[in-house]
């Protein structure tokens, strides 16, 4: 009797598992939407047509961002599932729909019919062949007349994509193509959080850093059929993309230039601390001491900000930490910065005090000690910067350690 009950229980569990697998769609088409009643239905029908032709189970998930027209009604009447997102923004709408999606593969594109949902199969094929993220390439597939403003086609997209490739060492040619596919696991690992248009750049940056397999497929861009201005704002959204691309590249934007400036500045201060130096026909005087001081302080600030940036990014995207963040977490950065920076600041203050006492008791001009005063004052500022940065770094590291402990 017990064996029979166990068998029936096992059989029931297996039947339930098979039923769940049969009900789970292979592909989820993700469509962000804000008042797209003229074109949303076209996109939904195309997606379902691809599912039918390929004989696969699929779903359409519309991330509605507060539409006031008939978009929601149209989507539901055509069999799409609507997920409402109160937080405004392209990225917020996609994130809500993607988190609600049940498919193994997720493919996203706009609701304006500028991306042909009939090409959905190309993305499915690439995902089934092992890609984690599949990017459309509009420049390889072709851009129809009127589909993209000249400012975006010849300046905005190429320049931003080039900057992103250089800073993040990513091979993607069309960084801002809105049609892309990814696995459910890849979406989880990318952990893109931006609510606005910059969500598109963040996805690729995080995917590359996470070591995901990325492929590109050529797609054609068509003129949109909305009959109204797009939600995209060229300069506002272009700046959002650029600032995210730069902010997520602390090695290139902070640490490497900072190290170069710091080394140059320290060398200049050391060489000119005792007074002017003449090399051949070149005279290096007080102006070069000031420049060396500036290079030292800017370089040190860049390094400190770079470390803070890497930890801040790693709080939400651990793959961005590289080698520096684990090294900081293993060590005692607050104590190191506090004591070394404090010692440097105290040494500078003491030297400045001695120079001031010399002026008080001896009197007279201080031209002979101007170079040395620049050095000691620079030491004071640099030391205090290290001390204060140490406390901020400690706060961030504690936050990082707390988040990763659960």
pLDDT of res. 364: 63
Q: Residue 13 — pLDDT band, cuts 50, 70, 90?
A: very low
Task: Count CB atoms within 10 A of the CB of residue 213.
Answer: 15
Q: Is 335 exposed, middle or buried (0-12, 13-18, 19+ CB in 10 A)?
A: exposed
- Who has greater pLDDT, 123 or 17? 123
d(CA 253, CA 298) in angstroms, rounded, equals 13
Task: Count CB atoms within 10 A of the CB of residue 345.
Answer: 19
pLDDT of res. 398: 82
Q: Residue 318 — pLDDT band, cuts 50, 70, 90?
A: low
Q: Is 210 exposed, middle or buried (0-12, 13-18, 19+ CB in 10 A)?
A: middle
pLDDT of res. 21: 43
Q: Residue 107 — pLDDT band, cuts 50, 70, 90?
A: very high
Mean pLDDT of 356-384: 83
Nearest residue to 232 (alpha-carbon basis) of 16, 34, 23, 2: 34
Residue with token string 């506090």:
338
Angle at 335 between CA 333 and CA 341, to 5 degrees: 95
d(CA 285, CA 374) in angstroms, rounded, equals 12
- Residue 120 is encoded by which pair of tokens? 């959905």
pTM of the predicted protein model: 0.78
pLDDT of res. 315: 79
For 41, 45, 61, 341, the CA distances from 79, given in Å and listed in that order, are: 10, 9, 9, 64
pLDDT of res. 180: 97
- Residue 118 is encoded by which pair of tokens? 């009939």
pLDDT of res. 1: 43
Secondary structure (3-state) at 262: helix
pLDDT of res. 320: 52
CB within 8 Å of 163: residues ≥ 6 apart? 242, 245, 246
Q: Is 157 exposed, middle or buried (0-12, 13-18, 19+ CB in 10 A)?
A: buried
To the nearest 10 degrees (0 to 180), the angle between helices 40-54 and 120-128 is 50
Average pLDDT over all residues of the chain:
87
- Who has greater pLDDT, 112 or 329? 112
Mean pLDDT of 235-257: 91
Secondary structure (3-state) at 66: coil
pLDDT of res. 5: 38
pLDDT tens digits, one per residue of 40-52: 999 999 999 999 9
pLDDT tens digits, one per residue of 53-70: 999 999 999 999 999 999
Q: How many CA atoms lie within 13 A of 323 on its CB side?
A: 1
- Who has greater pLDDT, 132 or 354? 132
Most confident of 106-120, 267-281, 324-338: 106-120
pLDDT of res. 356: 84
pLDDT of res. 367: 65
Element (H, E) at 82: strand 81-84
Which domains occur in the chain, in start order? 17-247 (3.90.550.10), 250-404 (no CATH)
């Amino acid at each position: 009797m017990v064996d029979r009950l166990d068998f029936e229980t096992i059989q029931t569990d297996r039947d339930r598992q098979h039923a769940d697998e049969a009900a789970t769609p292979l592909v989820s088409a993700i469509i962000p939407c804000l008042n797209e009643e003229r074109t949303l239905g076209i996109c939904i029908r195309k997606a379902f047509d691809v599912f039918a032709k390929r004989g696969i189970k699929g779903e359409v998930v519309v991330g509605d961002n507060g539409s006031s027209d008939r978009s929601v009604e149209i989507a539901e009447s055509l069999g799409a599932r609507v997920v409402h997102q109160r937080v405004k923004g392209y990225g917020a709408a996609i994130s809500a729909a993607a988190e609600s999606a049940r498919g193994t593969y997720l493919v996203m594109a706009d609701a304006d019919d500028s991306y042909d949902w009939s090409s959905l199969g190309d993305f499915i094929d690439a995902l089934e062949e092992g890609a984690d993220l599949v990017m459309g390439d509009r420049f390889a597939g072709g851009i129809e007349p009127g589909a993209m403003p000249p400012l975006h086609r010849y300046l905005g997209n190429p320049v931003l994509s080039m900057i992103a490739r250089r800073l993040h060492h990513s091979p993607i040619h069309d960084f801002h193509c809105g049609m892309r596919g990814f696995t459910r696991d890849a979406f989880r690992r990318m952990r893109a959080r931006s609510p606005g248009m910059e969500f598109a750049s963040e996805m690729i940056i995080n995917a590359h850093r996470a070591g995901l397999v990325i492929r590109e497929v050529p797609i054609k861009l068509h003129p949109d059929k909305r009959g109204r201005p797009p939600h995209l704002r060229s300069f506002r959204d272009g700046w959002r993309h650029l600032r995210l691309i730069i902010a997520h590249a602390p090695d290139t934007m902070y640490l490497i230039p900072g190290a170069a400036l710091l080394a140059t500045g320290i060398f200049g201060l050391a060489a000119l601390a005792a007074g002017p130096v003449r090399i051949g026909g070149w005279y290096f005087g007080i102006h070069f001491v000031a420049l060396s001081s500036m290079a030292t302080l800017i370089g040190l600030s860049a390094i400190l900000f770079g470390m803070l940036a890497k930890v801040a990014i790693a709080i939400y995207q651990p793959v961005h930490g590289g080698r520096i963040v684990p090294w900081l977490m293993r060590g005692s950065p607050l104590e190191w910065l506090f004591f070394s920076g404090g010692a440097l600041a105290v040494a500078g203050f003491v030297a400045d005090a001695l120079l001031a006492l010399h002026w008080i008791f001896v009197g007279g001009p201080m031209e002979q000690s101007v170079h040395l005063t620049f050095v000691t004052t620079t030491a004071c500022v640099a030391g205090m910067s290290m001390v204060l940065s140490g406390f901020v770094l400690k706060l961030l590291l504690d936050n990082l350690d707390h988040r990763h402990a659960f």
